[in-house]
Structure 1
Amino acid sequence: MDAEFARKELYDLVWSQPMRTVAASLGISDVALAKHCQKADIPVPNRGYWAKKQSGKPTVQIALPPRFPGASDRIGQTKYNNYWDPDWAEKFKDITIPPAPTFDEDLCSVEERCRKLVGDIRCRRKFEPAHPLVAKLLAHDEERRKEFTKWHYNSCAPKYDGGTARRRLLIINALFLAATRLGCRPSMNTSKYVEEPGGNRDLWITIGQAHVGFTIEPIKSKKVGHSDRLCLSFGSERLGTKTNRCWQDNNESQLENQLTEILVQMLLTAETSYRDRLVQRREWIINRRSEAEAELKRQLDEAERKARELQERLERERIRRLLSQAKALDRANQIRTYVESARLRFAEVPMTQAEFEKWASWAQREADRIDPLKNGTIGLTIKEHSAGTPEADH
């Protein structure tokens, strides 16, 4: 879809005309339009809606639900692609600066809505059910268990049968299942060669257009006999995105009992990230347009400079030719004067009249050859000057 719409704009459009009519006007199929609407959580008329409306029967228009935290409000192709080409400045100078982004909900209202969406997350003591990504790690554990039974090497021992590693994976499983239920997309490196536990296995949950990363790492206890505490932090120290948002086991509550608040804050982080990106995008467009105007001015100044240099070079070349022709005329006149002087003093020259006339004829031809008035070069120069400097005619 070449056009770009806000969710509300596309919602109003699909409820104003049948889907096929709207899709045809946009140059796409009704199936593609339905996919765009589904991705943006825009309800569309049910089958038979327009027939009922045409026959005067009562119909119900489904209200547009609030935008999911972190999801984009724009549907379709962005207008700001491919502006790094050599002629990017010319393309970008006329781009309209979008208005400052506004939002229907303040962040407090979004947080309240997130709490209703998340509900209450409970961390089970067993992987029943197991999220598909967690199930892969458990499958690797089964392979290690078989190897351990066969060889009894500690390096082959299962990782998730107990202890901190099992707690950690149960927490991940609970968060991933809850996020998936909301339509978010968890991700995790499921390689069997990643060490556990620790922060080497980066965890991510894609919420709308935002990717919220986090780690769950053990904190070594300084007291003898006390088990390690777990700490969940947003971002990744390995990737340099660690933040100060963290939750950990404490005397009042274990990490398992804080998962509801953690997921709520993940949703809120995704929404904040989306809003910040909109502001940054607008600032980028403003700066890029300013850079385009500066670049076009630079190109114009450069073109004018080159034109001046070319004109100055042409003028220098004209003067050089003018001086060269003046010298040629002077040399031609010198030759003719010399020949005439020699003719007057022919008696002093030890040669015959025929020999002298032969030499004089050759010298006269040479004088005519270099004479700009005789060889026509002065005419070409005058025509070129008249064509290049119209003011010379006045």
Structure 2
Amino acid sequence: MNTTTSTAAAARYKAGGGAPLVSLKAPVTLSVLALVALTFFGFLGPAKTAELKISNDGDAIRLPALLIQGGTGGVVFGIVLLGLAAYSVWLWKDGRKSPSWVPISFAVIFVFAALVWIVAGARDSSISLAGLFAGSVTLAVPLVFGALSGVLCERVGVVNIAIEGQLLGGAFTAALVSTVTQNAFAGLIAAAVAGAAVSMVLAVFSIKYLVNQIIVGVVLNVLVSGVTGFLYGTLMVPNKELFNTPLHLDVLPVPLLADIPFFGPILFQQSVIGYLMYVAVGVIWFGLFKTKWGLRIRAVGEHPQAADTMGINVNRTRFWNVTLGGAVAGIGGSFFTLVAIDTFTKEISGGRGFIALAAMIFGRWNPIGAFLASLLFGFAYNLQSILTIIGTPVPSQFMAMLPYVVTIFAVAGLVGRSRPPAASGIPYVKG
């Protein structure tokens, strides 16, 4: 056997075992989920027909609704999922990894099949897809900003557990400044400054004084929660009109584009912060992967010693990137008080900073991946509310916990390896 043949064989089989070197986790996971879908969504699926409305009643262009019979549709979806799982197994036997489109397509079809199953079994077997996804995008806005903050920080080597505190600080400051100045945009800018201030504390203690980054993040979350709670009780509650009546950032539909069926309400009927979300995802992705700035940041996060050798000031780069991440999270926090609710309440962020952290991990430290993962969480939040309205027998808490289960699978590597930047969480001492 020549060298080329030996190398190819070694790449495809373990020595003496005859088993492919590629992990079996993904094919097994997809196969099990496909069988679950075929059994529960198909063979045990409801007999009623689910009506999935693509257009809303007030749309300029109306498209017909999708009518899918519960059990029959479940069987079809299950067979398609089994086909994708079989393709993944075939690639494994051939010693090749499944391309990224396989698990992504599998996830989309699985979620859609579950949606049909849920709606078909509900008391009111009708749901607006446009409304469902538009509400999901809206609920995902603070999660996206929080996840982007985590990406900016961890890509440069700093673990940002303080996203919750940054969101909360941004929400409080936006409400206070907007009320005092009677200007919503002043509140938006102040929220970014507040988030950056929280991040600067994280940067100083974790980068300069080498304090454990996770501990600093947790302490900052508790500190911001305590400070905002104290000021809310002593300042805002007795003087609501003076300090807690922020101006509202209204939804700004884009002419013509907002009338596009299905996609119009989702993409082109957002507030200023919603449009900033799209811009932030694109700009941060382009900056990280297409510019010299992004190359330096990724070098610092992966191998700070090598970056230092090339003349990059590692700690200064980390400091300013963490500060930028805090400003991004602060803008996300302003969504709570300038868009969602016209007032600040205690613990208004509701733990979404930790959900954003999970979305960042699920998105594999990539701005676009974090954006899509945040949409999944927003989808689960919105669907949980809609399930109660349409009267489905499926407990709404089940959909609320599903994204966390998926995240655990992703972090465990069952649907592909998830690796953080090599120097993430490791302080750098020059020399």
**What range is the shorter-chain TM-score in?**
under 0.3
Higher share in helix: 2
Q: Whose Rg is larger?
A: 1
Higher share in strand: 1
TM normalised by structure 2 equals: 0.17
TM normalised by structure 1 equals: 0.19
